[in-house]
Amino acid sequence: MKILVANPNRSQELLNQLMESARSRVTNPATQLIPFLNPLGSTHLDCYFADYQATWSFTREVIATVEEQDIDAVVVAGFGNFGVYALKEALNIPVLSIAECSQTLACMLGHKYSVLTVLQQNVPYQEDLVALFRLTDKCASVRGVDINIGDWSTDEGVFHNLKCAITNIVDNDGADVIVLGGARFATYAKRLEKELGITIIDPVLVTVKQAEMMVETGLIHSKKRKFHHPPQPLETYCFMGERHNRFCDKKEKS
């Protein structure tokens, strides 16, 4: 089984981190995790503008890769929107967003969950996602860490800052599950869980496992109604003027 771990970002370093999370718990020898980098993506995905600028090429390339490499499931490994519904429309294999999957699982694991995101400016964007997923009733809060306070240069400093932020959320917002909405936070998940005694979710890890489970069970998003294939052939939507990209070239040749 081949699972594409698709980073909407162009950062190889971030992808390496994602793959580490992704691989940490895969035990099935038949499961192959394929790393994917968005060739025309930005290195920053921190606002609505970034989301739209990254996603057009991301979705095209993911679709092309799925066909070329016979992929069984796609994990959209950015904690945001990044066209996950567009991919669900276009593809006939499971497509899972780490933001959607981690928050959906969080619903089963406690009374209320909170999302800890990297930037305070990013909170409304994340709250919009919660509304899109219709999970508002289970979400205690979305909070951003304050990168202007505390030491973020050392591991110990980051751990301390995250611990304070989470303690604050648990005490004030009533959450008992925390979703780490920043890839760079994932390495602290287990240690935070241990010291704080609450469930901390590393989105990439659980989503990769969920993808594996979906392939094994044959479960897939419904292709009727919301995620019906687009009404037109995909290349119709991908006009590039004189500058067609790989995706369209390939489609037109076939």
Q: Out of 69, 124, 149, 157, which residue is the one contacting a second copy (CB under 8 A)?
A: 124
Q: What tokens appear for 219 in the block?
A: 């479960």
User: Which CB sits closer to a second copy, 8 or 161?
Assistant: 8
- Report the 10 Å Cβ neighbour count for 95: 28
User: Which CB sits closer to a second copy, 159 or 237?
Assistant: 237
Q: Is 234 in the site for a second copy (CB under 8 A)?
A: yes
Q: Out of 3, 50, 74, 98, which residue is the one contacting a second copy (CB under 8 A)?
A: 50
Q: What is the largest CA-CA distance in the chain?
A: 59
Q: Is 241 in the site for a second copy (CB under 8 A)?
A: yes
Residue at token pair 């890839």? 183
Stretch that binds a second copy, among 69-77, 151-159, 179-187, 235-243 (CB under 8 A): 235-243
Task: Give, in order, the Cα–Cα distances in Å from 158 to each of 11, 82, 149, 163, 188.
Answer: 21, 27, 11, 8, 9
Cα–Cα distance for residue pair 80/179, rounded to 1 Å: 13
Q: Is 121 in the site for a second copy (CB under 8 A)?
A: yes
Q: Out of 23, 109, 167, 195, which residue is the one contacting a second copy (CB under 8 A)?
A: 109
Q: 104 and 123 in contact (C-beta within 8 Å)?
A: no
β-bridge partners, 178: 114, 200
Q: Is 150 in the site for a second copy (CB under 8 A)?
A: no
Q: Draw the binding track, 186-205, toward a second copy (x: CB under 8 A; -: no contact).
A: ----------xxxx-x---x
Q: Is 210 in the site for a second copy (CB under 8 A)?
A: yes
- Compute the least distance from the CB of residue 158 to a second copy, in Å: 19
Q: Out of 8, 51, 98, 203, which residue is the one contacting a second copy (CB under 8 A)?
A: 51
